[in-house]
Amino acid sequence: MRAFIFPGQGSQKVGMGAELAEASAAAREVFEEVDDALSQKLSAIMREGPDDQLTLTENAQPAIMANAIATLRVLEADFGIALAQHGACVAGHSLGEYSALCAVGAFSLGDTARLLKLRGQAMQAAVPVGEGAMAALLGADIEKAAALASAAAEGEVCDVANDNDPTQVVISGHKGAIERAVALVKDYEIKRGILLPVSAPFHCSLMQPAADRMAEALAATPPGQFSLPVYANVTAARVTDPEEEQHLLVEQVTGRVRWRESVQAMRADGVEQFVELGGKVLGPMVGRIDRDAATVSLITMEEIETFAKEIG
């Protein structure tokens, strides 16, 4: 069994998608459709930058999705590899869950782009710049990270945001609490704490205003039926019901990204290979979660062609 997985924020870089767009009409069509949906030349920012524009949350989120879906469309249109035929399920990391849902037909490409643009804007607006922060805890498991976050909070918000793999957990909350946590890492036998260059504290309770905005947006544009099950971030469980998924996408804004548990759940359900589309972040994480899992990350035309030959 095979899972197709979709990367989250941080996987963006200037030049993303340029090679695919040059080589494939299917990829070009994705980028053009996203540009039209947003009334914005996002593809130009992806191709040429500047970097500070691409890393803006409201641009990064739809850009990462567009690149992943372009990779999928090349696989489908140019090499005849249909997702529903060759995959058993899908999953995505944070915003990648929207990419996954687009890939299996729950949202149109245009709606996915608009939802992610709004999600990025809402997340940025939820907490004034400078009041929130996030930090990666390296060499930390979930138990150590949770204990550290609890100790560092001191009445402020300090939540576990991402349980990525057995060696990396991300915390999020008030800037003061996150800085205290970083200073305390050695006391909790954690190798290192690194403040992340993010503009807002994602996946913590401070994001509630953004969750409220996404609840309204998803009520107006709810997910439809999808062709493969999705493993949801906040439950790390298999979902097939669009109404359930709609509620989980709202919870996801403030909730923990349970990626380690999601991968373990997919493995327990029989997934043997994980195929990352449009990034090279999740594949290595999967390898750290389960060394016996096969992984492949697809970005270039050469990588896509090699993969298509292997499974075609």
**Structure token pair of residue 257:** 């990204």
Active site residue 203: yes
State the Cα angle at 111 between 108 and 115, rounded to 5°: 135
Active site residue 99: no
**Structure token pair of residue 252:** 């996801």
**Is the peptide bond between 50 and the residue preceding it cis, with omega within 30 degrees of 0?**
yes
DSSP of 170-184, one letter per residue? Answer: EEEEEHHHHHHHHHT
Cα separation, 237 vs 264, in Å, equals 10
Burial of 275 (0-12, 13-18, 19+ CB in 10 A): buried
Measured CA to CA in angstroms, residue 201 lies from 139, 147, 161, 302 at distances of 21, 19, 9, 37
Which of 11, 43, 203, 262 does the annotation list as catalytic?
Answer: 203
Which of 11, 24, 43, 94 does the annotation list as catalytic?
Answer: 94
- List, by residue number, the catalytic residues: 94, 203
